[in-house]
Amino acid sequence: ETGPAVALTQVSKVYEGGVRALDDVSLTVWPGTFVAVMGPSGSGKSTLMHCAAGLDSPTSGSVRVDGYEIAGLDETRRTELRRDRVGFVFQAYNLIPSLTIEDNITLPLRLAGRSPDREWVHALVERVGIAGCLDRRPAELSGG
């Protein structure tokens, strides 16, 4: 049986100056599900996503990605985990403008010294509707 894709348990994040962005948040996301994180500006949405993806560490609590505890990992280990286990779509693309879309998609694999699985890439781009765009650069795509 497959466990949760992401599980946050009693996660809090307090920034310098005492700003509490997350206060004892628990959330479980199962594989194959879609989750919308909604709330007013300043409510902790980005902090929640950053902690869940290993982009930031919580002040307290547990964050598990695909069964791996990541809350206490150092930056190097969190980077490896993101490379190997996390897909993150940023609100602002954060793509490398000089690379093609295909090269942007496969860059983490190539940095890890692995060859991309062409069937996986094809299935991925078909699913998100950009199969005809792989040879384009990010500036040539619509914002939508």
pLDDT in tens, 123-143: 988 888 888 889 998 888 766
pLDDT, tens digit (0-9, with 9 covering 90-100), for 50-108: 899 888 889 999 999 988 898 888 889 888 888 888 876 665 667 888 999 899 889 88
What is the four-CA torsion angle of 143, 109, 83, 4, rounded to 10 degrees?
Answer: 90
The span from the CA of 120 to the CA of 59, in Å, is 36
pTM: 0.66
Query: pLDDT at position 52, please?
Result: 92
Whether residue 101 contacts residue 135, with contact meaning beta carbons closer than 8 Å, is answered with yes
| Per-position b or e across 14-50, b if 16+ CB within 10 A of its CB | eeeeeeebbeebebeeeeeeeeeeeeeeeebeebbbb
Decide: helix, strand or coil at residue 128: helix
What are the residue boundaries of the structural domains of the chain, listed by start? 6-85, 101-140
6-85 belongs to CATH 3.40.50.300: yes
Pairing of strands 6-15, 60-65: antiparallel
Q: Is the pLDDT of residue 1 over 80?
A: no
